[in-house]
Amino acid sequence: MSIAVAIDGPAASGKGTISKAVATHFGFAHLDTGLLYRAVGARVLDGMDAVEAATSLDFTDLDRDDLRTGPVAQAASKVAAIPEVRAALVDFQRAFARRAGGAVLDGRDIGTVICPDAEVKLYVTASDEIRAQRRYLELSSKGHDVTPESVLEDLRERDRRDSERATAPLKPADDAVLLDTTDLSIEDAIAKAAEAIRAHL
Ligand code: DC
């Protein structure tokens, strides 16, 4: 059986947590596609050319422990606007989506570009303030030197760049189910996503 679940949305909307949880629940594989762009961004910060970094990306690059930092997130958003970088990462994501046993991919363009024929498409959002608060708590608990204001500014800048770029911008697919997690607990958000997936099994 091949079933693809596409989960898109802006930074810190909850899509990563939801994706992991529903993948575990249904026994599907999970790919956080943001990590691919973060790994490319990290290599660019090391001094590599962006397109070369994307075309020669290795799985060990996804294990770097600096991928969750603010500077790498911004670098990821910048390289993600380069069409050749995106093109270099398409085949891997499409093959992952169609692996036997089911797959959940989360990102920005999964339902629109990578997997327009995904069986289930979700678009996860939350207010800017709630997303910034969640990301601030996550980063500060890991010892990163951030303020709530800097995290909010960072998210807004990244969302703007991700939504306004010409190639594969962040936007909901026409047939995506919208899930606003602003006032939802993690458990309720996961339950709603699981319900949408179950309807297609
Ligand atoms: O999901 P994330 O915050 O880890 O993603 C980091 C950046 O990567 C994000 O700002 C935009 C880019 N990205 C993308 O353009 N397309 C995807 N499918 C996933 C991430």
**What are the two backbone dihedrals, phi and then psi, of residue 167, each rounded to the nearest 5 degrees?**
-100, 125
Per residue in 5-61, pLDDT tens?
999 999 999 999 999 999 999 999 999 999 999 999 999 999 999 999 999 999 899
pLDDT digits (tens, 9 = 90+) for 75-129: 999 999 999 999 999 999 999 999 999 999 999 999 999 999 999 999 999 999 9
Pocket of ligand 1 (CB under 6 A): 11, 33-34, 37-38, 73, 76-77, 80, 107-110, 158, 162
Which helix (DSSP H) or strand (DSSP E) does residue 125 occupy? strand 120-125
Ligand 1 center to 9 CA (angstroms): 9
pLDDT tens digits, one per residue of 66-77: 999 999 999 999
What the chain holds in terms of domains, given with CATH numbers, is 4-198 (3.40.50.300)
Rounded to a whole number of angstroms, the CA Rg of the chain reads 16
What is the distance in A from the centroid of ligand 1 to the CA of 106? 9
Tell me 198's DSSP state: H
- To 10 degrees, what angle do helices 70-79 and 34-45 make? 100
